[in-house]
Structure 1
Amino acid sequence: MNKNTFIGFLLIAVILVGFSLFNRPSKEQLEAQRHYRDSVAFSQQLEREAAIQEAKAVRAAESLVQPTTTEDSVLLHKQIELAYGEFAPAATGKDGYTTIENELVRLTFANKGGFLHKAELKKYKTYKDTVNYLCLFEGQEQALSFTLVTNNNRVLHTENLYFVPNAIETEADGTQLLRMRLSVSEESYIDYEYRLPKDDYMLRASIHAAGMQDILAQNMTSMEMHWHQLIRQQEKGRKFEERYATLQYMFKGNDIENLSESKNDQKSINNRLQWIAYKDQFFSTVIIPDDAFTSAQLESKVMPKTSDYIKQYDTKAVIGFDPTGSKTTDMRIYLGPNHYHTLKAYDKDVDKADRLHLQELVPLGWKIVAWINKILVIPMFDLFTSWGLHIGVVILLMTIVIKLIIFPFTFTSYRSSAKMRVLKPQLDAINEKFPPEKMQERQQATMALYQRAGVSPMAGCLPMLFQFPVLMAMFWFFPTAIELRGQSLFWADDLSTYDAIVSWDTYIPIISGTFGNHISLFCLLMTITNIVYTYLNMQTQSGGSEMKMMKWMMYLMPIFFMFVFNDYAAGLSYYYFVSLLITIVQTYIFRWSINDEKLLRQMEAKQAKNAKNPKKSGFVARLEKMQREQQAYAKEQAKKRYK
């Protein structure tokens, strides 16, 4: 073997070793792979456990109508021991419920499974029930279970085991403490501890094992969490509620993503997750482990339109667990409203790297729109509501303030349109002088006119461009503002949903699918006002045949928007209605303050002044340069063709 061959083999070996080290799975990935292999190995045991559970349920049902013989009792006891092993004492128990509550929430825990049976929010009601508290879930609508692997390879689920609750304790700061114990023996058990602070939507949960290292598998350093929940329809507008209901999650690096809102979706994640949220339009249930989920399988299903539920969410996630009890598995569970300030408060005095960013559960639009909402719209809304004003007055004041903010842009846009309008006779003369075949000469003459008059064609477009993010910010804010929920204005009893004055049950093809089975009055008023505003604008346009199609399009746009906004929040339609009324008033003020004849004389004087040395705007200068380059290129191509 010569020197070059030896070096070649050595380099290949280095590359192979480096490649294997670089692609070696991380600790979390190895744990996920091990857990997957265990799950496959124990799949038959899971089926066996399910069969035993079913047999036990049948036996229990039969015992209600006829006595159970001693032989049957012994057989059932053996079956339970065979399925649950040392956990057999916890396989049977007494169904019962324990409730802890504060001023905001009432939480009921079940003995079987040791987890939440029912969650109620005391400050909110549903549109169907204005008497009882709003219920996020109850009974089988929600389930959370952890997988336990025993030292003899049994796979058990905590949802099938019975916990024994201790008496509720109240700590010095008003926090309520509930302990629930899953006992194997006096020395071996698993405790669930729940702490509900005073006036808080965040529940603190801890899982602590004692003496379980010889009962559970020796290599068990994590558990698989199974979390299932059906999302109730809480709002009148189902179509709109479905649009905002989604399964959302945050990676450890602060990136937030979600599954599809409009269709069934699922995703497997092998990265660490900071939290997982089951989100409705205005309410969410969020699980936030202290040490993050190491991996997760997420699934979201859209429920049929006839169902009482809008979504079904399911999660399988891996979370750390110490059977020796030297370390607890801690997590927080948020059960409350999607209220921006409430959610943001959980990041107060928290290091940037550890912030939860739960306020992102409130959708405020894409980046610049969300930024406007956060620094302008939400503070303004908070200021006006803090004065104790009616919500209708608050929206009116917000509309006036926003109109004042964008007034300079609106005035500039109107003045630019007026300039173009008074120049139209001169532009028509240029078009007659230069036919379409001489397009370059026509463009040059038009640019020369703009230079002499000091007009920029973009002057009317840029102000409208600056207004657009503000308008979009309001479009995102009102449908997600929980403060509008249940607030009435005139005939609308809830500004967070549509205000139907006419509704019907019959399905009408196309209409029912796009427009809905109702007519929203604020949306109708917005449409009528928009048509009036369009008519006022069309009066200032020329009556040439080339504008007829444009006019029809302008009149059809309000009708199109009516189909879009008929299902939207009445608060948003009310805002646009008031905004359009103010815009109409502004239009009359602009017409009164800007005289076309006076403006034309000013522009003619400016044309005469700039006739010899016209002042060119940057935009016009760039257009001229492009025209010269285009003309030179055309001449060069013509020369090549005639050679």
Structure 2
Amino acid sequence: MQQNNGLDKSQMISFAVLCLVLFGFMFYFQNKQSKEEQAKAQQQKTEQVKNAVKPTQASNINPNVTPGAIQTASLGNNELKIEFSSLGGQVSKVELAKYKAYDHKTDNADLPLYLITKNNSNYGFQFKDKTGKVINTKDLVFTPSVNGNTVTMTANYNGAVIQFVYTLLEKYTLDFKVRTQGLAKITSDNKADFIWDYSVRNLEKGRAQEQSHSEFSYAFNNYKDYDYDGRTTMDEEKETLNWIGVKQQFFASVIEAKNGFTQSKGNQENIEEGEYLKKLNYEGFVQMTGSELNQDFTWYFMPLDLPLLKSYDKNFDEILPLGWSFIGWMNRGFFIPIYNFISSWGLTAGWAIFVLTILVKLILSPIMYKQHKLSAMMRVIRPEIDEVNAKLKDADPMKKQQATMEVYRKAGVNQMAGCLPALVQIPIFYALFRFFPNFIDLRGKGFWFAKDLTAYDDLIKLPFKVPFLGGPPEYFCSCLYHCHSHLHDYDFR
């Protein structure tokens, strides 16, 4: 019987090539992102100074308004609890009632989940009066009135009446109408500048991962086209946006303009520590008719749940980053339906993933069988190859290669066939890589030592940062763990 002496030279080379492909594939985008961020950092700062939307702290919006003069009004249903501030007439607090936020102090997801609170979001419409003075509705004090599920905010400015009418609807939806009367007497503008400053709150266990998932999302071309921007200065001067949103890992705040936003631009900046992850600032124009601002909008404060997103028919399902092209199709058409089917048996999330893993392994078993068969055939012909190498030790390299290939040909072995099974598996594993951290049904679900299946496992926590790595030390340890576990998916005997 042929004794197995472990990995031979060719197998070690194959193993090294596979590792290079896998790790190169994973780190390519990370390195590319890092270089782009460094290249764009100075440009973003320059743009912010010149003409970008400048974030304004709510406490400094109107220094003439005393805290006691600010009133609030509230609306709520089974999904949302919303509070409105009379300063700026805007949404000042949004709580998603069915979800909880992660508490880093207690290591539990037991905090109320606020998308908006503590002035992390403020927005308004800006225009100029006939003297050239800039007027922003953020600076105005509105008077609130509540009637059923509707809050009406009313402000007066030099005889002009500005009303914001908010109506809370089902499915995480807040209707938002802007109505003015007499505005044409104080302005000649034919469009208003909508400015939205938003700081993303840290809601999840994995800070670095949630930060990387926080970005602009928007649709245009009558909802048919979708785009996003997570790293650079946003610039859509030529497109009319149907909606603009700030996407987080599992939630999104989106505003839809019935007549669209034009000349859109924005910028974003990471926040390295604390309660917030990223600061995003957006600016776009809305049309005024006869110098009156009468436009309809809709706010959506929603979880990124695929059936829910599809139900709006606004192309919101593109917000969910399940992968491009074939990868996304695989997740939407196979992995999510299969996972839902398995979990319908009453299994917990961890066991459902376990069964899904077994199913994937069964599907890949023909490919794995060919790989194992090739490995066995290589071990059989190894003595012949060693003999050829010994005989032709001092021969021309081309002649030695031809002799080696003749051995392979007689044995019916195709060396390239050893790489193909691994290459076939890469899209499948990459689809799963996109699926697990973005599937909201797994959010906060634990299994054995893992408290959250969508976050990195804190196997070891070090009291210092690991140099040259973009994440915290627990992220590094988790990466080692996952790399080790995935290497066991392959048999290199």
Compute the TM-score of the two structures, normalised by the length of structure 2: 0.79
Letter in 2 for 1:242: Q
Contact 2:187–2:291 (CA under 8 A) maintained in structure 1:
no
Contact 1:501–1:520 (CA under 8 A) maintained in structure 2:
no
3-state SS of the aligned residue for 1:388? coil
Q: What is the distance in 1 between the residues matched to 2:164 and 2:394?
A: 82
- The structural deviation recorded for 1:184 is 5.0
Q: What is the distance in 2 between the residues matched to 1:383 and 1:497?
A: 23
Contact 1:303–1:311 (CA under 8 A) maintained in structure 2:
yes
Residues 389 and 248 of structure 1: CA distance in aligned 2, closer, same or farther (over 3 Å): same
- The structural deviation recorded for 1:459 is 2.3
Report % sequence identity.
29
1:262-301, aligned counterparts within 5 Å?
A: 265-272=232-239, 273-301=241-269
Residues 531 and 324 of structure 1: CA distance in aligned 2, closer, same or farther (over 3 Å): closer
Residues 276 and 508 of structure 1: CA distance in aligned 2, closer, same or farther (over 3 Å): closer
Q: Which residue of 1 aligns with 2:80?
A: 105
Contact 2:123–2:197 (CA under 8 A) maintained in structure 1:
yes
User: Which of 183, 191, 194 does residue 212 from structure 1 map onto?
Assistant: 183
Q: Which residue of 1 aligns with 2:355?
A: 397
User: Which of 202, 221, 225 does residue 233 from structure 1 map onto?
Assistant: 202
Is 1:316 aligned to residue 292 of structure 2? no
Letter in 1 for 2:163: D
Q: Which residue of 1 aligns with 2:164?
A: 192
Letter in 2 for 1:357: N
Q: What is the distance in 1 between the residues matched to 2:394 and 2:76?
A: 78
Q: Which residue of 2 aligns with 1:164?
A: 143
Contact 1:209–1:323 (CA under 8 A) maintained in structure 2:
no
> Which is further off, 129-138 or 143-152?
129-138
Q: Which residue of 2 aligns with 1:138?
A: 117
3-state SS of the aligned residue for 2:141? coil
Q: Which residue of 2 aligns with 1:516?
A: 472
1:350-499, aligned counterparts within 5 Å?
A: 356-435=314-393, 437-499=395-457
* 1:310-353 Cα shifts (integer Å, max 9, x gaps): 1111112111222566x841222221222222222222xxxxxx
Q: Which residue of 1 aligns with 2:228?
A: 258
Q: Which residue of 2 aligns with 1:115?
A: 90
3-state SS of the aligned residue for 1:213? helix
3-state SS of the aligned residue for 1:125? strand
Is 1:337 aligned to residue 303 of structure 2? yes
Larger Rg: 1
Contact 2:174–2:300 (CA under 8 A) maintained in structure 1:
yes
Q: Which residue of 2 aligns with 1:507?
A: 464
- The structural deviation recorded for 1:197 is 1.4
Q: Which residue of 2 aligns with 1:182?
A: 155
Residues 122 and 154 of structure 1: CA distance in aligned 2, closer, same or farther (over 3 Å): same
3-state SS of the aligned residue for 1:293? strand
Contact 1:178–1:194 (CA under 8 A) maintained in structure 2:
yes
1:566-577, aligned counterparts within 5 Å?
A: none
- Higher RCO (CA < 8 A, seq sep 6+): 2
- The structural deviation recorded for 1:523 is 6.5
Q: Which residue of 2 aligns with 1:353?
A: none
Letter in 2 for 1:303: I
Compute the TM-score of the two structures, normalised by the length of structure 1: 0.61
Letter in 2 for 1:183: N
Contact 2:442–2:453 (CA under 8 A) maintained in structure 1:
yes
- The structural deviation recorded for 1:97 is 0.9
Q: What is the distance in 1 between the residues matched to 2:455 and 2:119?
A: 29
Residues 249 and 482 of structure 1: CA distance in aligned 2, closer, same or farther (over 3 Å): same
Q: What is the distance in 2 between the residues matched to 1:133 and 1:243?
A: 23
Is 1:150 aligned to residue 129 of structure 2? yes
Higher strand share: 2
Residues 154 and 363 of structure 1: CA distance in aligned 2, closer, same or farther (over 3 Å): same
Contact 1:500–1:520 (CA under 8 A) maintained in structure 2:
no
Higher helix share: 1
- The structural deviation recorded for 1:526 is 5.1
Residues 211 and 147 of structure 1: CA distance in aligned 2, closer, same or farther (over 3 Å): same
- The structural deviation recorded for 1:467 is 1.4
- The structural deviation recorded for 1:529 is 5.2
- The structural deviation recorded for 1:453 is 2.7
Letter in 1 for 2:458: A
Contact 2:190–2:291 (CA under 8 A) maintained in structure 1:
no
3-state SS of the aligned residue for 2:98? coil
* 1:393-422 Cα shifts (integer Å, max 9, x gaps): 110111011111111111111112212221
Letter in 1 for 2:229: L
Residues 390 and 51 of structure 1: CA distance in aligned 2, closer, same or farther (over 3 Å): closer
Letter in 2 for 1:192: F
Provide structure 1 residue ranges, at least 5 long, that are not aligned to the other structure: 1-38, 41-49, 62-92, 170-175, 348-355, 541-643
Residues 130 and 469 of structure 1: CA distance in aligned 2, closer, same or farther (over 3 Å): closer
Contact 1:209–1:324 (CA under 8 A) maintained in structure 2:
no
Residues 250 and 52 of structure 1: CA distance in aligned 2, closer, same or farther (over 3 Å): closer
* 1:408-466 Cα shifts (integer Å, max 9, x gaps): 11111111221222112222222233346423333333333333333222222222221
Count of residues in Structure 1 that have an aligned counterpart in Structure 2: 431
Letter in 2 for 1:359: D
